[in-house]
Amino acid sequence: MDGILIVDKPRGMTSHDVVDFIRKHFKIKKAGHAGTLDPAVTGVLVILIGKATKRSFELTSGDKEYEATITLGRKTDSGDAEGKVLSESDASKITEEDVRHVFKSFEGEIEQVPPMVSALRYKGKRLYELARKGKEVPREPRKIHIKELRIKKVEIPNIDFSVVCSKGTYIRKLCDDIGDKLGCNGYMSYLRRVRAGEFTLDKSVDMDKLKSFSRDELEGYILKE
């Protein structure tokens, strides 16, 4: 069995959990994924099966599209709702005009410092491993490209938006940076990936359905190379 399976990853599972389930449940020897999603994040997870695993680098490097929510008034050490609260502030005076002005400044090619809660390495250790121990190390800023940043709804303290971005963009850090620039802190309270490269949610299968599939039924959802 060779090809690509698009899974709508549910909240609470790691990307590895999904791959591990597919390997064991369908007795597939070779499987992997192209682009990790955090446990709290849902949406498009590209699963590579058999010979398709050789395309991992190629399929990881495409643009991503997300739907997200930033909640203003609080900064966390992870940049999301699950992190330790570092500071709180009043966001009630932030206007929609303020929000639109700041969002505009993040469009295009910008530099972003990767968050400590990431899989990047520092002296052989994953940053998230160091972060769990309460350590913070220097990180060099990286160039990323925010191709589209569209506000969908502003109801302070929450801002719903969509973003199309290059590989290596951390939406949790984007939310953190937007909060800082607004002067009131902010964290990512919701994230759903709706596209990874050419693969979209409408081609996906959810985990509940996947758990009921036979191996033959699974084949019907695999995109052949």
pLDDT of residue 128: 67
CB 92 within 8 A of CB 156: yes
pLDDT in tens, 154-201: 999 999 999 999 998 999 999 999 999 999 999 999 999 999 999 999
Return the closest-CA partner of residue 42 out of 5, 6, 9.
9
In tens, the pLDDT along 31-47 reads 999 988 888 899 999 99
- pLDDT classification of 122: cutoffs 50, 70, 90: low
Tell me what the mean pLDDT of segment 66-94 comes to: 94
- State the catalytic residues: 38
**Cα(222)–Cα(225) distance, rounded to whole angstroms?**
9
Please tell me the pTM assigned to this model.
0.91
Give all domains of the chain, ordered by start, each with its CATH number: 3-61+197-219 (3.30.2350.10), 64-195 (3.30.2350.10)
pLDDT in the model for residue 225: 63
Q: Going by C-beta distance under 8 Å and a sequence separation of 6 or more, which residues neighbour residue 176?
A: 75, 79, 115, 186, 187, 188
Query: What would the two tokens of residue 128 be?
Result: 């998230």
